[in-house]
Each structure stands twice: as C-alpha cells, then as structure tokens.
Amino acid sequence: MASPSAARKTLTSAKVSVLASFAAISFALGLLFRDALIFAGIPVVIYLALVSLVRAPGEIEVTRSNEKSQFYENDSTKVRLRTTNLGNQSIALVMIEDQLPVELSNGSSSASFSFSLKPGETRDCFYMIKAEVFGLYVLGPIRTRCEDAAGLNIVKSIIEETAPIVVLPKTTERLTHFKISPRKTKPWPGEIVASRVGLGIDNYSIRQYMPGDSFRRINWRASAKTAGDDLLLNEQTAELGADTIIIVDARPASNLISHDGESLVKDSLRAAISLSDKLLRDRNRVGLVTIGLETSRLPPGYGRRQYNRLVLSLIKVRAGGLFTFENIPSYLKYFYPHLAQVIMVSPLLDSEAFIASGEIARSGYELLVLSPNPIDYSSERDEAQKKKRTLRIARELASIVRQNNLAHVRESGAIVLDWRKGESLDFMLSKNIRANSRARAMRRSRF
C-alpha cells in the first residue's frame, strides 16, 4: 500500500518561463522602438497573474494490490493501482508509473497511466505481469505527477513502496530413482539401508524370542523346525536418514548461456530443487550452500517447511560474486563436521572447483558431484557453425580434457555424474545407480 506521506516536490512548468520571457522581450522591444509592441505582453502578464492564484494540485493516495504474490514461471498475474484524490479540488492530469523489473515487464520498464480526478474520486488501473524466468522480484517504487488545468503547477512524488513477487520454477523434475547411500547415518528413520538391526523391511537375522517382543515378528515357520519349544524372531535391517548439504555453484565462471538462451546456472538451480525434494521425501535432513552474487547458507532441516526455505533460497540465487571454491572444504569442516553426504552441483570449469571437490572427498565426506556439461552450453548460433571442422575439433578436445579432469575427481573417492543438456535428470541418475553402487563397494573395500 502506498502512503500519501511520500515526499512531494512542487514545480513550476517551463511554460511560465516561456510566457514571462515573451512578455519581458515584447516590453523591452516596445520601449526600444517606441512601438505598440509594448502592449503585446500585457495579456500574458494578466494571464500569469490569474494562474498564480490557482492552487497547486492536492495530495493523492496510491494503493497497489496483487492478484497473486506467488506464481509459477510462464504464468501471469494482475496488479491493481488504486488512486484516490484526497484534496477538495479537481486534478486535471494525474500520471502514475509503477517501476517493473525487466524479467516481469516483457520488454517494458514500467506500467504508466494518465487520467483526471475529481475531489474525493477513486480510479482503478490494472496491468498484467508475466515471468519467463523464476526468481524473487520487487515491484516499485511508484512515481506520480499531478498537473492543474493550465499545466503550469506540477506536483511530483516518488512513493517508496515495494511489493515482493515470488516466481517459482514450473518445470522441476520429480525424481523417483535417486537415493543416497552414505556410510554415516543418523538415528532417525529414513530410506538408507544401514548395516545394523532396526526398523525396516528386509530381514537382517533371526534370534530367539525374548519376553516383551512383538508377536508379529515371530517367524513361525522357523520356530516349527526347532527341536524344543523355542520361538524365533525376525530382525530387520535398519533404514535410517542422513544429513545432506547441497552446494550450488553460481559463480561468474559457471554462468554460461547456450545459443537457445538456456542458462547453465538456472538448470543447476532446477536440479538442486529436484534433489532437495527427493532427499526430503526420503526423510533426510537437507541443507544448502549457494555460491553466487549473494552467498547464503541454510542449515540442515527436514519437512515441508524446509523444502519451502530451500526453494526460496534457490530462486534468489544470481550468478556473480567474488566468493571462491577454495574456502568450501574448510567451511564444511567448521560448520558441518559430521555430515553424511555432500552433493555439489557445478560444471567444474576451473581448477578451483576441481581442487575443492577433491579435497571434500578426501576429507571423509561422501561426495556426489552433479556436473552439467558446459560444452553443451557453447554459443553456437546456427547449424552451419556446428559443421565447421575447427569447431568440431575444439569440441572434441574440450570433451577429452573434461573427461580426464572428471576421472581425477573420481580417483579422490567422489562420484561424478556428467549431465548432458536435454537429458532427463531422473533418467541420468537411474542409469548411473549401478555404477555408483560398484564405485562405493570398491571404495569401501579399500578400508
């Protein structure tokens, strides 16, 4: 809501200066040439004297209300600007202008309206906003301009009232095949199969019945085969949860834009939202570290409220900033020394990212690197360029270098997934489940 207490600035139109200059010049020329031209400025002077008696336009109140303050990308919503004349005189011309972010304005930087208001009259104006990219945006401030009938008295004001608009991603993929299997688990129920006895589905062992045990867990078939009257009880493998941190790389080096306008950082954020949703549905605690224009940290939590916090934090991320990857390993050791799983979403474009990922894996964390392939986000503009021999050779060389670097990260104990542009995230994860399991088994056999 816009308050009428906004700063007002009363101005005099340039018309007054022009008319006064005309009257002064005509009077001076009339005296100089002793001509009747001296009387030409008299009507102008009388007009200016009468206009000066007219009061400046009174105050107005502008109220902004949104149909929806939260909606999905590619959707639209309606915004209402209600303007009320608080004075006791008419305002011949009222101009209001609401400042809009470029992402919501479809190429226009404002929503402008012009009309007149009678004393006490209220006028409603509407405009539509549509977001093509998810994020957190702000409407405002509102600029107003009021003029009298002669256009000589002008009152301008800037109403510093803003309204947040939350645009949620619409195309986040719901994962079904992705599961983490860290060595460290926490004592609460989850979906991670642990090598211990507890609540679960799969049988772990059979033991003798003890007083107080549930009769539902008695293995009657095995008990019937015993020589005595002993009862045998099934014990299940415990299914527990884990603490997980998702690291999103949104540094300037990772801000690649493909020829069709797709952003690598935006795709990384969508992937992080999908991973957060699946991990929380599996009853893990999930936290977040974003490295971008505004580096943020969200402690691990669980439940729907934590998912909402994660989504709001991710849609605020903007590519940029000066924070480097070199501090991430020590940062995790200081704040989260007992983490079970670290998931890094990064294209691994520079040496800082490679060194940091290797150090995280060697520090004892279970590291999963989801790496969007940066080669797919090259700036090709047409099909003819793709057929050029030099470009094809450059892409092949870049692919060889990337695979070699990813192999070095895998040697440090991390699981690295090369995610190609346009490939389904769920399909890619399901395709690598067996490979991940074999890598974990080989890594555990070394210890």
Please tell me the predicted confidence (pLDDT) of residue 379: 64
CB 90 within 8 A of CB 117: yes
Helices first, then strands: H and E counts in the chain: 12, 20
Q: What is the largest CA-CA distance in the chain?
A: 141
One-letter amino acid identity for 340? A
pLDDT tens digits, residue range 101-128?
A: 888 876 565 689 999 999 999 999 999 9
CB 155 within 8 A of CB 146: yes
Mean pLDDT along residues 293-310 = 90
One-letter amino acid identity for 74? N
Asked if the peptide bond before residue 141 counts as cis, ω within 30 degrees of 0, the response is yes
Instruction: Map tokens 């999930």 to a residue.
Output: 286
C-alpha distance from residue 258 to each of 147, 169, 276, 389 (Å): 49, 19, 26, 20
Residue 235 pLDDT > 70: yes
* Per-residue pLDDT band at 442 (split at 50, 70, 90): low
Lowest-confidence region among 27-31, 159-163, 264-268, 280-284: 27-31
C-alpha distance from residue 22 to each of 12, 42, 91, 433 (Å): 17, 10, 28, 85
pLDDT tens digits, residue range 26-36?
A: 777 777 776 66
The average confidence (pLDDT) of the chain is 82
pLDDT tens digits, residue range 322-344?
A: 777 888 999 899 888 888 899 99
pTM: 0.77
- Write down all domains in the chain, each with its CATH number in brackets: 60-168 (2.60.40.10), 186-240 (no CATH), 242-446 (3.40.50.410)
3-state secondary structure of 45: helix
**Pairing between strand 341-345 and 243-249?**
parallel
**Pairing between strand 153-159 and 7-12?**
antiparallel
DSSP string, 392-433: HHHHHHHHHHHHHHHHHHHHTT-EEEEE-TTS-HHHHHHHTH
pLDDT tens digits, residue range 174-191?
A: 898 888 888 888 776 776
